[in-house]
Amino acid sequence: MVIELYHDLAKIKSFYYLFLSSVVDMKEFPLVYVKNGKIIDENGRKIVDWKEKVDKFAEIYIMDLDGIERNEPNLDFYQSIYKKKWIDAVPRRFEDVMDLVVAGGNKIVIREGFDDRDIDRIFSEVDVELYLSLSKDCSLKPYNWNGFVYLLNEKMGFEVKEFLSELSNVFIIARRKEYIDFDWADENKIDGVAYPLWEMEA
């Protein structure tokens, strides 16, 4: 009787730990826009108290508008941010990725348009996490990405949900918080969502 009870308790304990290991909270972290060495709001105005606002978060997603528009990322500015940094500056070549790494990037986002000839090189020589920014018609090869980023510029529709549900290690980066279907994202094990800093407390 005692032995049977012991085995029953062991089974319950084993199931409990298995359950806990499968329950992973979806991350939420701020998206910040950087331009001319400043973090700006949706109207292009400098956010003065951004350090205070990001202090509570372990990581932030940096959308570098100068990097995106003219391949001139704000490398010096990154070093003033003492957080785990996702950097989305649309690097074009291997050297661009290395610049982001040296500037303190922990997770580098690669978008369509990156030089295919440098893909193998970044995987063999770059020692940070690499994420592919996805679209349904993305032509970059699968490789061993640490995960995928989906840029959400409108409310999530059926096609987007169907597309994302077939992937793993996915992070949704939304231009607005209201575009995210949080219940769906949680149910479908989306790893994390980021939305604008000024909406984090809304």
- Give the C-alpha separation, 5 to 1, whole Å: 6
Mean pLDDT of 98-125: 93
Q: Which are the contacts of 186, defined by CB distance < 8 A and separation ≥ 6?
A: 26
Centroid of chain to Cα 45: 24
Establish if 1 belongs to a structural domain: no
pLDDT digits (tens, 9 = 90+) for 21-68: 344 589 999 999 999 999 999 999 999 999 999 999 999 999 999 999
Q: CATH number, domain at 74?
A: 3.20.20.70
pLDDT one-digit tens code per residue, 157-167: 999 999 999 88
Mean pLDDT computed over every residue of the chain: 87
Q: Give the pLDDT band (50/70/90) at residue 135.
A: confident
Buried b (16+ CB within 10 A) or exposed e, 71-88: eebbbebbeebebebbbb
Please give the backbone phi and psi of residue 178, each rounded to the nearest 5 degrees, phi first: -65, -15
Q: Is residue 164 part of a domain?
A: yes
| Burial (Cβ within 10 Å: 0-12, 13-18, ≥19) of residue 127 | exposed
3 assigned to some structural domain: no
In this prediction, residues 84-90 reach a mean pLDDT of 97
Number of independent structural domains in the chain: 1
Domain assignment present for 154? yes
Query: Is residue 73 one of the residues assigned to a domain?
Result: yes
Give the count of beta carbons closer than 10 Å to the beta carbon of residue 140: 16
Which residue segment(s) compose the domain that 105 sits in?
29-199
Q: Does residue 181 fall inside a structural domain?
A: yes
Q: Residue 100: phi, psi to the nearest 5?
A: -65, -35
What residues contact residue 100 under an 8 Å CB cut-off, 6+ apart? 73, 75, 78, 87, 89, 91, 108
pLDDT of residue 16: 41
Domain membership flag for residue 158: yes
pTM, two decimals, is: 0.85
Tokens of 194: 């980021």
Is 10 part of a structural domain of the chain? Answer: no
Residue 112, phi then psi, degrees to nearest 5: -55, 140
pLDDT class of 180 with cuts at 50, 70, 90: very high
> From start to end of the chain, where are the E strands?
27-35, 38-40, 59-64, 84-88, 107-110, 129-134, 147-152, 170-174, 192-196
pLDDT of residue 137: 62
